[in-house]
């Protein structure tokens, strides 16, 4: 029977997934069958895809890509793998967007921020106590390397200004705007749309507080610009930024990025 095991097409005399595991690895290995981890033996059929991974070990590149391909389907994964996405601002939105895109297998990420990780960041941003005091670019790149070591991650520890937008973002397919300040958001969106024709921008506005998550949505106000949030609830005294709504908005942004990489431009 011909099946794909860890990215390689093999002819095996096996009837079940665990029989394949016995030939390839050991009884404690994790078995992924057609994109799903199994804990009970299953029959296999011609053309099935299996990934056998030793617990606690870093999978080889072809093994990890094989698993992601099985989850996404090969056509989807290949498109995402070719994606080049820049993330401007690595706070509650940007750090979580970066993690989601790395888990999805986006092939190249640019991380831009000038700040360091502070204790007040830990309530909603994808950082840990061990990251305190580190530049956010350094801390996040390290974290992404532990999630998916096979994607390219470029970092620039700098502040985005009207004078450097084109230099920073040229060559990327999509910019994720993930700043805190309205002025910085407006500057990036306006200058990028003017200086980088064809680039798509996924921005955010309104995710503070604890109102219904269902108010957060994605809209397309104009060509090449997508906006995520509830468009009302900015952070202010008595209504701060909390992890759930911030991460929901980040999820909207990351999902729109994936749709754009797949050629889907409607919201």
Taking only the tens place, the pLDDT of each residue in 52-96 is 888 877 778 877 777 777 777 778 989 999 999 999 999 999 999
**Residue 131 — very low, low, confident or very high, per pLDDT cuts 50/70/90?**
very high
Range of the domain at 57: 2-72
pLDDT above 80 (res 126): yes
19, 42, 72 - which closes a domain: 72
Tokens for 75, please give them.
């056509």
The mean pLDDT of 28-39, rounded to a whole number, is: 87
Q: pLDDT at position 54, please?
A: 84
Q: Indicate if 163 and 228 belong to the same structural domain.
A: yes
Bridge partner residues of 174 (DSSP): 85, 200
13: Cβ contacts below 8 Å, ≥ 6 apart: 1
Bridge partner residues of 116 (DSSP): 135
Q: Indicate if 63 and 84 belong to the same structural domain.
A: no
Q: Indicate if 95 and 224 belong to the same structural domain.
A: yes
User: How much is the mean pLDDT over the chain?
Assistant: 93
Q: pLDDT at position 49, please?
A: 87
**Residue 259 — very low, low, confident or very high, per pLDDT cuts 50/70/90?**
very high
Whether 266 is covered by a domain: the verdict is: no
Distances (CA, A) of 139 to 151, 155, 196, 243, 251: 16, 11, 29, 19, 20
Q: pLDDT at position 19, please?
A: 94
Closest CA to 105 of 133, 77, 84: 77
**Residue 257 — very low, low, confident or very high, per pLDDT cuts 50/70/90?**
very high
Q: What is the pLDDT of residues 153-205, one digit of tens each?
A: 999 999 999 999 999 999 999 999 999 999 999 999 999 999 999 999 999 99
72, 89, 108 - which closes a domain: 72
This prediction has a pTM of 0.86
Pairwise CA distance, residues 30 & 238, whole Å: 47
Backbone CA torsion sign across 14, 17, 18, 21: positive
Q: Indicate if 15 and 143 belong to the same structural domain.
A: no
Confirm if 11 and 23 have CB atoms less than 8 A apart.
no
**Residue 258 — very low, low, confident or very high, per pLDDT cuts 50/70/90?**
very high
**What is the percent of the chain with per-residue pLDDT over 70, rounded to a whole number?**
100
């Amino acid at each position: 029977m011909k099946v794909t095991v860890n990215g390689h097409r093999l002819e095996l005399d096996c009837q079940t997934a665990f029989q394949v595991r016995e030939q390839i690895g050991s009884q404690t290995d994790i078995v992924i069958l057609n994109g799903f981890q199994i804990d009970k033996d299953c029959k296999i059929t011609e053309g099935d895809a299996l990934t056998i991974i030793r617990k606690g070990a870093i999978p080889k590149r072809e093994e990890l890509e094989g698993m992601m391909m099985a989850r996404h389907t090969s056509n989807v994964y290949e498109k995402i793998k070719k994606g080049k996405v820049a993330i401007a601002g690595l706070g509650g939105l940007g750090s979580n967007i970066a993690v989601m895109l790395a888990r999805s297998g986006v092939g190249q990420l640019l991380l831009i921020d000038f700040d360091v990780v502070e204790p007040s960041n830990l309530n909603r941003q994808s950082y840990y106590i061990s990251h305190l005091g580190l530049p956010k670019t350094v801390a996040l790149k390290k974290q992404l390397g532990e999630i998916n070591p096979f994607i390219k991650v470029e970092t620039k520890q700098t502040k985005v200004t009207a004078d450097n937008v084109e230099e920073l973002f040229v060559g990327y397919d999509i910019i994720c705007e993930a700043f805190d300040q309205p002025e910085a958001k407006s500057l990036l969106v306006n200058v990028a749309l003017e200086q980088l024709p064809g680039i798509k921008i996924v921005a955010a506005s309104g995710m503070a507080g604890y109102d219904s998550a269902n108010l957060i949505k994605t809209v397309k106000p104009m060509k090449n610009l997508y906006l995520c949030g509830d468009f009302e609830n900015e952070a202010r005294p008595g209504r701060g930024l909390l992890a759930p709504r911030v991460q929901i908005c980040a999820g909207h942004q990351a999902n729109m990025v994936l749709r754009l990489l797949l050629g889907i431009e409607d919201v």
